[in-house]
Structure 1
Amino acid sequence: MRIGVFLVAAGFPGRRPGEVLRDTVEAVAAAEDAGFDDAWIAEHHFMSYGVCPSAVTLAGVALGRTSRIRVGTAVSVLSARHPVDLAEQAAVLDQVSGGRFTLGVGRGGPWVDLEVFGTGLARFERGFAESLDLLCAALGRETVAADGEFFRFREVPMVPAVRLRPVVACTSPETVALAAERGLPMLLGMHIGDEEKAAMLRHYRRTAVRPPATGGPGGREPGGSVAGPAGPSLPGHVAAVVGHVGDSTAQVAEELREAMPRWLEPGLAGYVPVDGRARPRRDIPAYVDFLCDAHPVGSPGRCVEKITRTAEATGLRHLMLMVEGAGEQARTLENIRRLGAEVLPRVRDRLPSSRRAPASG
């Protein structure tokens, strides 16, 4: 089992974006010192929910500041990027980091990003499969060419050529099927609980039409494969959860219930549809209550119980803990340190298969 940190680069009120970005890199270095296996950096555009517009760029900075921990994107928005350009950037980070980089990609949403970057609503609505296939080709072949609806170009060499498998953010049965048909690992969000995660894993197993690729020369794994209730040989799936530890569960939950709405209310309002469609709205206090109840939030003992229960209920053996919930850098660093000292060793004792995997996956 692998346990990482998930860094949204959250734009809490009163915090300048440049400060948040510097603090995010500092948090990755702290996670390495605390014994975490990996760190994942989110990407958002034109909003305060997350103030990192290029997860691959910030991942490169973080890789340069560290020596052991693996760093990934959670996620790079594929609908707003050219897949070959993104593959080239991933290849650079893979090569200069000694294989410590994981590329996570997602479809994104029907947001104004599509207008600004000129990729258009059609890429989001019907172009994700083509984009994903081109990305995988660029990450797995010596040369690449395209002759599709959205991409068409002559054969060119990939320099440097690498063998990498992206992780795919999945929030719908359709995206689960895309990942399963290609043998790609899923990234599951923190907005769903254990039952929903297990259901998506079962759907993946039913949909998969060929065995997933393995690590080594054919393509590095971002995580191990294990057996569990969702079926055998889960190919390195990873799930995001909130991870926040303190002296008592009541105190920690109250801390997040006070802090997180100040970030989520204005932050989620930054999702602006490109075509005027109604923007989904969320009951923020109820959502924070769900995060506190369903995830490892509370005393060290409760955090251990919640992580163990998620692993047992889903079969997942790779979690990333969102650690910025208090909105203050000093508290984030304390949270990382305490999770590393008071939670991770106990989880690894209770789940013997969770001993740290090598950085190359």
Structure 2
Amino acid sequence: MKIGAFLLAAQFPGRDHTSVLESTLAAAVAAESAGFDDVWLAEHHFMSYGVCPSAVTMAGFVLGRTRRIGVGTAVSVLSTQHPVALAEQANLLDQLSGGRFRLGVGRGGPWVDLEVFGTGLERYERDFPEALEVLLGALRGGRIRADGTTFGFREVEVVPGPRTRPHPPVVVAASSAPTLELAARLGLPLLLGMDRVPAEQAARIAEYAELAGDRAARGHVVTGLAHVADSRERAREAVLGAMPEWLGPGLAGYVTVDGRPRRRKDPEEYARFLCDTHAVGSPEDCAERLVAHARATGAAEIILMVEAAGDPGAVLDNIARLGAEVLPRVRAALWRGRRRDPR
């Protein structure tokens, strides 16, 4: 199983956009040095929860600053952009990076983004399946045309085509039943969020496998949080001392386009949930949690939100300690388990 770093470009209190983006880039480069397999970049609009509005643009910059590590989007929001334009960008990065780019896509939400970008609520509620199928067709390169309800255009040649065949790796964020069913129908692997405990992530993967049958993909990605310190108490103190002050104004940035009510997470409660659920503790604690997470879900990759302490120096220290003290333990334990059960 691969282990990746997940970067939100989170704007903790007291930090400006320049310092957040510069430290996000530094964290991505540090993840490569620390031995992570991949780094995944989030996309958000109009909120301090994350100040990267284009995950694919940030991915291109990170690819240019790194040499080995895979770089993915978690996710590029398909409801606010044209699928062919996103496919062109993905194929460009696939070509120039030598196949290191991964494309995570999601439906997004009923947020004000739909109004600002002019795509409208129907792109979120109705048109995601059509957009995803057009995206997949364009990612394969060659001639493509569309005659759908939303996307209709004459035949064109998509350039560049992909370097990776049949197309760059694609995962689909699935937080709802319709999206999970769509991913299963298309045979695309899932990307599951850290707001679910591992047992819930495992249940969704099992449901996907039943729906997909012979089409089932095996490259599922699950998300977690990881913060390592000398003891469990110190790790929890660092996370609980920083995350709620970011989560409060950050989560408030999710504004619905049509005024529909939504349930808001309590920042303190959510931060405690993340500490209780994910790899927050000593190196031994973190390794044990991650091995259990991997075995529970059977996913191909777990990606770890590493910015929970907020301070840029603390984030870099966390990445370095995870690479030196946690990842080797996890890989050794999973390798021993694989040798005992080679299936």
Q: Residue 167 of structure 1: SS of its match in structure 2?
A: strand
Unaligned 5+ runs, structure 2: 339-343
Q: Distance in 1 between matches of 2:179 and 2:153?
A: 26
Aligned partner of 2:238 in structure 1 is: 255
1:279-330 CA deviation, whole Å, 9 max, x = no partner? 3211221111110011011100010000111111121231011000011110
Aligned partner of 1:131 in structure 2 is: 131
- 1:325 pairs with 2:329: no
Aligned partner of 2:271 in structure 1 is: 288
Q: Distance in 1 between matches of 2:236 and 2:24?
A: 23
Q: Distance in 2 between matches of 1:331 and 1:12?
A: 13
Q: Which runs of 4+ in 1 moved over 4 A?
A: none
User: TM-score, normalized by length of structure 2?
Assistant: 0.95
Contact map agreement 1:173 1:203 (CA 8 A) in 2: no
Q: Residue 145 of structure 2: SS of its match in structure 1?
A: strand
Aligned partner of 1:313 in structure 2 is: 296
- 1:236 pairs with 2:219: yes
Aligned partner of 2:341 in structure 1 is: none
Q: Distance in 1 between matches of 2:79 and 2:226?
A: 29
1:77-101 CA deviation, whole Å, 9 max, x = no partner? 1000100000000011111110000
Aligned partner of 1:31 in structure 2 is: 31
1:32-56 CA deviation, whole Å, 9 max, x = no partner? 0000000000000000000000001
- 1:188 pairs with 2:171: no
Aligned partner of 1:207 in structure 2 is: 211
Give the drift of 1:210: 3.6
User: TM-score, normalized by length of structure 1?
Assistant: 0.90
Aligned partner of 1:5 in structure 2 is: 5
Contact map agreement 2:109 2:124 (CA 8 A) in 1: yes
Which amino acid is 2:150 matched to?
Answer: F
1:236-275 CA deviation, whole Å, 9 max, x = no partner? 1111100110000011111111110000000000001101
1:98-125 CA deviation, whole Å, 9 max, x = no partner? 0000010000000010001000000100
Aligned partner of 2:122 in structure 1 is: 122
Distance 1:87 1:172, change over 3 A: same
Give the drift of 1:161: 1.1
Give the drift of 1:208: 0.2
- Whichever structure has more helix as a proportion of its residues is 2
Give the drift of 1:195: 1.2
Give the drift of 1:194: 1.0
* Aligned-CA RMSD value: 1.3
Aligned partner of 2:151 in structure 1 is: 151
Distance 1:353 1:43, change over 3 A: farther
Equivalent of residue 168 in structure 1, options 168, 172, 177: 172
Aligned partner of 1:350 in structure 2 is: 333
Distance 1:344 1:204, change over 3 A: same
Q: Residue 243 of structure 1: SS of its match in structure 2?
A: strand
Contact map agreement 1:180 1:208 (CA 8 A) in 2: yes
Q: Residue 208 of structure 1: SS of its match in structure 2?
A: helix
Q: Distance in 1 between matches of 2:224 and 2:199?
A: 14
Aligned partner of 1:224 in structure 2 is: none
Q: Distance in 2 between matches of 1:141 and 1:252?
A: 47
Give the drift of 1:278: 1.1
Number of aligned residue pairs: give it: 334
Give the drift of 1:164: 2.2
Aligned partner of 1:338 in structure 2 is: 321
